Amino acid sequence: MPEILRMPEVAANTTEAVVSSWNVSLNTPYAAGETIVTVETEKAAVDIEAEAEGTLLRLLAEEGQTVAVGSPIAVWGHPDENQDAVDALVAALDLPAGSTVGGDAGNESPAEVAAAGAAHDGAGTASSGHGGRIFASPIARKLAAEAGLDLAAVVGTGPNHSIRRRDVEAALAVSRAAGASDSGPDTGASPPPARQETGPVAVRADFEDVPLSRMRQAIARRLVDSKHSAPHFYLRATVRVDRLLDVRRELGGDAGAAVTINDLIVRAVAVAHSRVPGLNVRWNGDSVRQYRHADIAIAVATEHGLVTPVVCGVDTMSIGQLARRTRELIQRAHNRRLRQEELEGGSITVTNLGMFGIEEFAAIINPPHAAILAVGAASQQPHVVDGELQVATIMRLCLSVDHRPVDGATAAEWMRELTGILEHPVRILA
């Protein structure tokens, strides 16, 4: 019996993914565990492995095609499967030509929408952690979903405080304005495109509207969501890093792993987490998740955009292991070969613009993290110690914190720990 291969839900709450490459040819047998197809979500390319040996009998999605999660992408089975059975199976799917292509939801037939909805049932419930039902009009829900906007944070002005289209648009406008006042590449997330209004537009050819890449859309959506739903507060600190630089120099010769300042900072964050676990948390909506290990995301600027792979269990790693693991993740980030699970989890991101000479910046929390640590450049500066002017290497930190799970005092305590660790780097290695 031929069977249907469907687009897997490679990451929670993804509704669609792109077939980026078919890795086995039609009618060529493959073994169990072999990669059949690579699909790409907004952030990652995921290799889909064969659950059992078989052969691809019919492709239902081309490379580059966007397919809703749960929709068929191929038919597989035994190499000598009956063609009629394949035809019958495909016919039973009742696919209008090109129907698996996503895009404008308005073009989807009700049946397709229903099918997609059914495929998401399981995942849908996971995100509804906001307690009571939110009353919102269908178009408001649709626009919010497209913009990654959490309706829980939108104030409804319709009958019975239901959320109308205008409320979503207002919320999006607010986050657009907020986004513009934050600086730095991290915060460069543009809001999702407003729905195109028709009407005369003066056409001038001195700009170009570049269509949004999937990654750009994702960045925009997630960060708008973050700015909108996570009330940020900011703690700034200055640390003297002469000793940290010494340690790094000493470690430099360590076998195989050139340790960077950033590695040391990440490691310091892990130690701070173990001392002040109150920051090693995330907001679940109806609970606060307390992590036991320090999983820390690092912001990597690639030519495609920002990605934040997570280094898991930093608290259990030696500095050498950490450095190797980090270097590997960065490498794969540039090659777009990160796996979806490598992008998930963690409670904090470390982002560093020091290499650009940026002294200090405030970053937007990468949801669902509780905080993001923005690290500026280390530079020699006049420094007063005990009334005496010295030359010191100084670095500025800015911690953005989600006030929902973390109070100011906890964050301040954590920040004090961190600066202490960085100024006394033996503690990092402890």
Partner 1 sequence: MPIHRAIEPGAAWTELVVTDADWDAASAELLTAMLSQLVLIRTFEEFVLDLAAKGLIHGPAHSSIGQEGGAVGSCISLTSRDTVNGSHRGHHQFLAKVLTHLHPDGIDPAKPVPEDVREALLRTLREICGLARGFSRGRGGSMHLRWDEAGAIGTNAIVGGGVPLAAGSAWAHKHAGTDAVAVSYFGDGAMNIGSVLETFNLAAAWSLPLCFFVENNQYAVSTHIAEVTAETRLSGRGPGFGIRSWKVDGMDPLAVHLVLQEALEHLRAGRGPVLVEAEVYRYFHQNGPFPGSAFRYRTKEEERQWRQRDPLDTVARHLVRRGILAQEDIAGCIQQAKELMAELGEVILEPKPDGKPNEKRIKPQEWPDAGIVDEGVRGDLSELAELPFTDLGDHAGELVESSFIGAIAGVLARRMETDPRVVVMGEDVHRLNGGTNGATRGLSERFPERVLGTPISENAFAGLGGGLAMDGRFRPIVEFMYADFMWVAADQLFNQIGKARHMFGGTGTVPLVLRSKVAMGTGYGSQHSMDPAGIFATAPGWRIVAPSTPYDYIGLMNTALACDDPVVVLEHVDLYQSRGPTIADDYDHYLPVGKAAVRRRGSAITVITYLAMTQYVLAAVEDVGIDAEVIDLRWLDRASLDWDTIAASVQKCNTVLIAEQGTQGTSYGGWLADEIQRRLFDWLDAPIERVTGGEASPSISKVLERAAFAGTEEVAAKLRQMAEV
Q: How many residues bind partner 1 (CB under 8 A)?
A: 15
Task: Report the residue number, 69 or 270, with the smaller CB distance to partner 1.
Answer: 69
113 in contact with partner 1 (CB under 8 A): yes
Active-site residue identified among 246, 254, 407, 424: 407
Candidate ranges 49-57, 61-69, 85-93, 105-113; the one touching partner 1 (CB under 8 A): 105-113
- Helix, strand, coil proportions of the chain in percent (round to 5)? 35, 25, 40
Contacting partner 1 (CB under 8 A), which of 23, 66, 158, 321?
Answer: 158
146 in contact with partner 1 (CB under 8 A): no
140 in contact with partner 1 (CB under 8 A): yes
Residue 256: phi, psi to the nearest 5?
A: 75, -20
Contacting partner 1 (CB under 8 A), which of 96, 106, 132, 357?
Answer: 106
Contacting partner 1 (CB under 8 A), which of 47, 95, 142, 260?
Answer: 142
Residue 297: phi, psi to the nearest 5?
A: -90, 145
Extract the tokens encoding 315: 């608290």
105 in contact with partner 1 (CB under 8 A): yes
∠ at Cα 298 (354, 282), nearest 5°? Answer: 125
Taking CA atoms, 341 is separated from 41, 308, 309, 310, 411, in Å, by: 12, 11, 9, 9, 28
Extract the tokens encoding 27: 């009618």
Is 265 within 8 Å of 350 (Cβ atoms)? Answer: yes
Interacting residues of 344 by C-beta distance below 8 A, sequence separation 6+: 11, 12, 310
Task: Report the residue number, 70 or 368, with the smaller CB distance to partner 1.
Answer: 70
Q: What is the spatial distance between Cα 358 and Cα 168, in angstroms, rounded to a whole number?
A: 35
Task: Report the residue number, 199 or 357, with the smaller CB distance to partner 1.
Answer: 199
200 in contact with partner 1 (CB under 8 A): no
Task: Report the residue number, 121 or 386, with the smaller CB distance to partner 1.
Answer: 121
Contacting partner 1 (CB under 8 A), which of 58, 164, 216, 227?
Answer: 164
The yes-or-no answer on residue 402 being catalytic is: no
137 in contact with partner 1 (CB under 8 A): yes
DSSP H or E run through 350? strand 348-352
The yes-or-no answer on residue 403 being catalytic is: yes
Task: Report the residue number, 70 or 376, with the smaller CB distance to partner 1.
Answer: 70
List 283's β-bridge partners, or say none.
Answer: 288
Choose among 122, 181, 170: nearest CA to 147: 170
138 in contact with partner 1 (CB under 8 A): yes
Interface positions with partner 1 (CB under 8 A): 105-106, 110, 113, 137-142, 158-159, 164-165, 197
Query: Which residue numbers are catalytic?
Result: 403, 407
